[in-house]
Chain A
């Protein structure tokens, strides 16, 4: 059971960057006005940031990291670990973390790796960075999470296109012997791996002459095999089934109740999911910030982006957080921690 505690590491600051360009779901031509109203009511998504062609996730993350390094006056030589969590990498190889290491002039004794996860990626990324930092001499670490997701859905697929936005974020973690650290409850279910999938382009289904042939799956859903395919009802069932027990297990492990937390921040996929989980937990909606309205589903970036856009720039007192990500894999996980003087830097746009 991946239920564990990592002591002695603290989240100190978060920075994020999104594309300046945006699309408004009210102008999406493949839905009727009634369908658009229902989509917005259910998902909560009105606008989405959409990167210009050629902009990568690493560009967004590096812009966010440059702000963090400059504003907090951090010496890049102190960074001992960089983890990049994304499913939209610069190249098939090498790993994007290494390219970012060079761009940010991080030292050679900084360990770098990519993690291939989406919506659960922030919880998983925090677990990897904090665990490695708690076992050695690394004093500062960077966790980058984000995706350029908007390149994957087909515009003629109403079941995916209006949902996703682009964002890149960076979180600074610091070793601190006095910190309570993080608690995690991380889970996976690969039996439903095809609920969220881009079928072609890997070794299982290499690109071929049919990969870009558009097929009408059903009315209003046209896509090819390099597009994202999302079984929305199945993913909704998954969220309804797994998120609440996962959070409750972590609460029990911590010997806490939900009302002892200042903020519950869920992955931003669908307002209906988050409202339902909040109601079932009987947790105050005011303490469940959201970024869905203006940014949509930003994959692994959704939780830190929500913290930046919905929380004060500096949380001057000790605050307790419970975060939960869930999605592609299928993969899900919760993390709880407290943070003193957490800095949420202003959102950048490029």
Chain B
């Protein structure tokens, strides 16, 4: 999980390192936009080999939710 959050810092410049936690609601991150959703989807595809979609990001809330989804789809 920590690794997942570190990867998010590395691809989304607008998020201040140290401000995210597993229970952070990504949609409440300041200035969160659809562009950030695309960056997150691309990072998960490249770094975890897993496809998450815009709909997944709409129906889930926290970073832990998304990480659990990645683990589930990776199996």
Which chain B residue lies CB-closest to A273? B42
What's the dominant secondary structure at chain A's contact region? helix
- Taking a contact as CB atoms closer than 8 A, the residue among B13, B31, B35, B41 that contacts A237 in the complex is B41
Interface check A314, CB cutoff 8 A: no
Which of B2-10, B20-28, B46-54, B63-71 faces chain A? B46-54
| Of B34, B45, B51, the contact of A233 (CB 8 Å cutoff) | B34
**Chain B residues with CB below 8 A from A42, complex form:** 35, 38-39
Closest Cβ neighbor of B38 among chain A residues: A236
Asked if residues B54 and A233 are in contact (CB atoms below 8 Å), the reply is yes
CB distance from A224 to the nearest CB of B (A): 21
Contact call A276/B42, Cβ cutoff below 8 A = yes
Separation of A267 and B53 alpha carbons in the complex (Å): 21
Whether A34 contacts B14 in the complex (CB less than 8 A), given A237-B41, A237-B54, A240-B42, comes out as yes
Residues on the A chain within 8 Å of B54, using CB: 233-234, 236-237
Asked if A201 is at the interface (CB within 8 A of a chain B CB), the reply is no
Closest to A244 in B: B45
Q: Which residues of A contact B33 (CB under 8 A)?
A: 35, 38
Could you tell me the distance between the alpha carbons of A220 and B73 in the complex, rounded to whole angstroms?
A: 34
Give chain A nearest CB distance to B8 CB in angstroms. Answer: 15
CA distance A42 to B35 in the complex (A): 7
Inter-chain CA distance A35–B51, complex, in Å, is 26
Q: Which residues of A contact B13 (CB under 8 A)?
A: 41
**In the assembled complex, A82 has its CB within 8 A of some CB on chain B:** no
Kindly state whether residue A280 has any CB partner on chain B within 8 Å: yes
Chain B contacts of A105 at CB under 8 A?
Answer: none
Q: Kindly provide the distance from the CB of A35 to the nearest chain B CB, expressed in whole angstroms.
A: 7
Say yes or no: is A241 at the interface (Cβ < 8 Å to chain B).
yes
The answer, yes or no, to whether A107 is at the interface (CB within 8 Å) is no
Chain B nearest CB from A339 CB (Å) reads 31
CA distance A188 to B55 in the complex (A): 21
Q: Would you give 22 A-B contacts (Cβ < 8 Å), ordered by A?
A: A34-B31, A35-B33, A38-B35, A42-B39, A159-B34, A232-B34, A232-B38, A234-B54, A236-B38, A236-B41, A236-B54, A237-B55, A240-B41, A240-B42, A240-B45, A240-B51, A241-B51, A270-B38, A272-B39, A272-B42, A276-B46, A280-B46
